Structure 1
């Protein structure tokens, strides 16, 4: 049993399954719904921990697969765990490495025992099992760790998805046995592809295991947006209402609103920093390419209503100049704004749920 964790709902939407809550962890609370920035290699690209906090981030992600390859979990453990290693004193979540391993379709072999793959870094043969994934995550020391799962590709036929979903459940039970730390919460992952009945069956089976939290995985892997909406809509309400629900790999405005309406609490996505590296700013739901000519002599702030460091100090013209010149500061400033934008978006949704105005304010996204 994990200690130091709890989830409390503070308000519900009377028209949808949306809820506002607080997920308490050993490293502090996470107010939900909440967007979580991705820090794959124990850093959110181009952004310092202080800048992350100023952007409103409460919980960040790191990646088991990548950290195992470099620098190795033993080094992170000797540094005092991820929190000390990356100088982030807030909650951290690590994924299991499953999604990354399964994306190496030409480099890996899957069996009931686990996955064998060739490292794209140095060609070394690596074997990752549910037990090994948990062992690595125990060493990394994140607050929330994810069960090792098989993420079927899109499109995949029903038989392939059934096999992957059944294997994910068997692996979850092995993860539970292998998990050694009570200061880490192990979340299970619902798979099932685009098949509603498989998703619902998987959700019911996972709910019976009484885990500290639950995730919906295997979405946003190439399927149409309408299918993502339907998958989440039929799956999320089945998961225990007294536990946090996490939708993996989703961070667009419409998809987050639709998922929150279905009862989702937590989100992660690489969108804010990836877009920044391609000179794209998120502004009130739109994406602006700041290399466009119209910004070269635009001396207004990116968004006059945004409280972030970037918007409070710099103009669109200056950002355009930095990005056209490929100056690293440009990527940092744009990442700060994009992260702030997505965190504020989920904060505004939370406030609307607390006021009882979620449907009125965000219904146009549904």
Structure 2
């Protein structure tokens, strides 16, 4: 259905229906002195925030009401304008704030503001995650495609895992994998990450507390620095039957630290398992190979492995969501190696 908005002059501006595609020139232009209400409505319509990981072509086909070409320049012109025809100072501030927000959404994931979004993992299981604005190199504050892919695999992979489980997640980030495991495996999961990541991790556990409980799971969070040996368990009963990690490698130092941490925290039993998901990033080819070598040196062997593809929430050179190829593997101890 087409919608119409009264502008300041009293004219009625008719908008194309949802099936049509608006051009930037169809939007209220500053020379027309549109009302504050009209500008606020348009700026709300221009919201562009990732609410999932899928190809942008699919998103465009679903939403497709405003062409993106020219929108950044349009938003910049609003921010630069004094909006002198709008008498309400608070309204002007709100317009500038919304226009700045819409512009930041188009400047890449690192420029986006804090957001809370929902991830559909399995039938009846939707997980809410809060992602603060990315500051510095705090990559754990973002949900990565590898975490979503692994979360959706957990139900299928459970046939390779022990029935009665205690689970430790390393580098939990925003908590998607750990929360998914608690729900889909109906078990207790301890999600860990660096101390600066844990407050948001605990916040996300709070957002999903009722969901986790309804799936007969339990999840807690605690800080765990892989380089700190003081917190390592000294008794086997303090260790875990499953250790899980998604996208845990960002430097050459990480493979040995990860393997050492796994070896310290995984139970000393043949049916204990390690679940790892790694994106196949070109610049980390050596680190992935090093990790596999170190796992074998630590007397682990692969039970099952595979490759899968999905989308991340940043765009490639063609303007589509970037395709991410990931490899997953499940390992077990093998003292005969």
TM-score w.r.t. structure 2 length? Answer: 0.30
Q: Which has the higher helix share?
A: 1
**Which of 1 and 2 has higher RCO (CA within 8 Å, sep 6+)?**
1
TM-score w.r.t. structure 1 length? Answer: 0.28
Task: Answer with 1 or 2: which has the greater Rg.
Answer: 2
